[in-house]
Amino acid sequence: MKHRIVSSLAFAAGIALMGGSAFAQVKIAYIDPLSGPFANVGEAGLKGFKEAAEILVNQKGGIMGQKLEFVGFDNKGSPQETQIQLKAAIDQGFRFVTQGNGSGAAHSLIDAINKWNARNPDKTVLFFNYAAVDRLNRGEYVVKEASMAKLKSTKVADEAIYSCLQMLGGYGYMEEYPLARLLRDSRLGPIGGGTSEIMREILSKMIIDKRSYEPAVKG
Ligand SMILES: Cc1cc2nc3c(=O)[nH]c(=O)nc-3n(C[C@H](O)[C@H](O)[C@H](O)COP(=O)(O)OP(=O)(O)OC[C@H]3O[C@@H](n4cnc5c(N)ncnc54)[C@H](O)[C@@H]3O)c2cc1C
């Protein structure tokens, strides 16, 4: 549960940085098994996300003032049904999708969403695969994946905010508008808690020199 809550916060931060203010409410389609043999896993996940959204996001004012909501779509654990549920979610206006149980369903989503986004560049859909945190959930020390994620996500956030400022022009630069603060804060991402240069150094050592790292503190 703790890691799912952390994932939810990452969603919230990501969506806020992507300019969630264009939506009256931030809605995420949760496409996972809600019936059949794996229904208990899917339902537990949906309950965890809903609770995290309520306690950690909505009760603290939401994402830039907007409520975060997770809505369940039952894929019955099948890649084919996943595509049907994705279409239903898109038809209902969902632009954010999450899934985490079954690589078949994940591949099906990636394929369908890539095709949708190529055909609909003005209505793109973003897929968050929450199974990406599975190894961390199992207690593994995922330094390579975490370094990649930190390097990429802080760069994307920084670039997104930079583009938003350019679009708003002078208003975005003024302290009276929230974007000025977002711009300043987004610069911390590639600097704080391991700069981008250090992330690249860690990744180079691991990938090229085959070096491995142990946690500084055990347990
Ligand atoms: C607002 C804010 C809040 C912070 N909060 C915390 C906190 O709560 N906890 C905490 O522990 N720390 C915190 N920090 C510190 C943060 O972790 C450090 O700023 C960060 O690790 C970078 O270290 P530095 O500032 O000493 O930069 P330096 O190490 O002096 O680096 C300066 C520049 O040189 C580059 N550089 C340095 N070494 C190399 C190298 N070997 N190869 C290539 N390039 C290199 C860096 O990438 C960077 O671009 C905070 C910093 C800020 C600004």
Mean pLDDT across 144-148: 94
Report d(CA 71, CA 63) in Å as an integer: 17
Token representation of residue 12: 């919230």
| Residue that is last in its domain, among 94, 119, 137 | 137
- For residue 140, pLDDT over 50 is answered with yes
Identify the domain boundary among 137, 152, 171. 137
For the Cβ of 184 lying below 6 angstroms from any atom of ligand 1, the answer is no
Domain count for the chain: 2
> Is residue 68 within a helix (H) or strand (E), and if so which, with residue range?
strand 68-74
pLDDT for position 218: 77
Answer yes or no: is the C-beta of 197 below 6 A from any ligand 1 atom: yes
Do 86 and 133 belong together in one domain?
yes
Closest residue by Cα to atom 1, ligand 1, is 188
Q: 17 alpha carbon to ligand 1 midpoint, in Å? A: 22
Q: What digits encode the pLDDT tens for the residues 2-35?
A: 444 444 445 544 554 444 444 468 999 999 999 9
Distance in Å, CA 218 to ligand 1 centroid = 24
Ligand 1 centroid to 189 CA: how many Å? 10
Q: What is the CATH number of the domain that holds 49?
A: 3.40.50.2300
Task: Indicate the pLDDT class of residue 188, thresholds 50, 70 and 90.
Answer: very high
Is residue 1 pLDDT above 80, yes or no? Answer: no
Ligand 1 centre distance from Cα of residue 197 (Å): 10
Condensed to tens digits (0 to 9), the pLDDT of residues 149-183 reads: 999 999 999 999 999 999 999 998 899 999 999 99
Cβ-based neighbours of 38, under 8 Å, separated by 6 or more: 77, 101, 102
- The rounded distance, in Å, linking the Cα atoms of 12 and 3 is 14
User: Are 106 and 83 members of one domain?
Assistant: yes
Say if residue 192 is in the same domain as residue 128: no
The DSSP bridge partners found for residue 72 are 30
Residue 180 lies in domain? 143-207
